[in-house]
Structure 1
């Protein structure tokens, strides 16, 4: 005889249509047979914005939270560029903090991506990796480039990194940050160029949830 409890099965569309859940339903458990994917975060019912993938979910009084551990997994990626260093993707203007516009890729952690801001889905410790590749050019300029992933793009903070980019081909600046963020924090990839404009061909961000707490 097999033991265990099978929670009620429900489709994402059916769950999204249910708007009567409140604090009195805290602790309710269901199994969602499909997921809303990237559309979950923009659904008119905010309670289902984290239901991106099939699985077991518990209601915390406000939203449905996945009961599957995502610790150690890549939960979000975004990028711009094709990998061809000769193609211009954008320009970091001289002496200006610039948010790098990216296109959402993988998003399995329940966070939302809007206006080039990633909203942290759960309080925890994260590893953030990002990169910016200067466009290949016959006349490259030596610049000091600052790269940062975090809450602000309007200041030089200790969590960012500076590097001098030489006048040579095929230069990519890599950045890694180990940090704790709070649910609801909105982070972005930003850069600052000192010494001239810096055209770039590619940029990316990769977010790993190490532990939730």
Structure 2
């Protein structure tokens, strides 16, 4: 189905994910540290998705993600995290991670997340919508503005969808947090600000106004246009 990299320095986690992804039909490569993972990504541009542990020797998962985004490579990335890690390490989501899953996790759930991210990242076969304003496809996790695709991460998509479904109403950071990370509400609500900033930039690049996603001081955010 896809060419996937799993990078984790814990052999039990790495092996379990490798086996589960292979059984799900994927071609899988593995790495036990960050430097090896980065080398594999450089040598195999055909890799379609990377599952990266945040805490790895040599090079952390967030550092790999940063290098990918700085190089312009929009490779889908799922981060693996532990609940006892410092929350500031979760700043990787502001770098453009497509999803994350906390340890311990079910490999079945991880495989489902991988399928969802791949479905969103691959081009669908239907015609691009031509209508004005925002158009959202909740099955493919894709969104357009005035016919131009926004190329959102899953987290950005979930935030925009929540605002879209509550158009004209203010949603607090905590409410958006529950939409963006329905399984893990322990992430700091300030993470929302970084994602909204990226979402605004993508909307503006597609021709939307600067206040399409408006800040409501002391409360949260509101979608002004759809």
Tell me the TM-score normalised to structure 2 length.
0.26
Tell me the TM-score normalised to structure 1 length.
0.27
Report which structure shows greater RCO (CA 8 Å, sep ≥6).
1
Report which of the two structures shows the higher radius of gyration computed on alpha carbons: 1
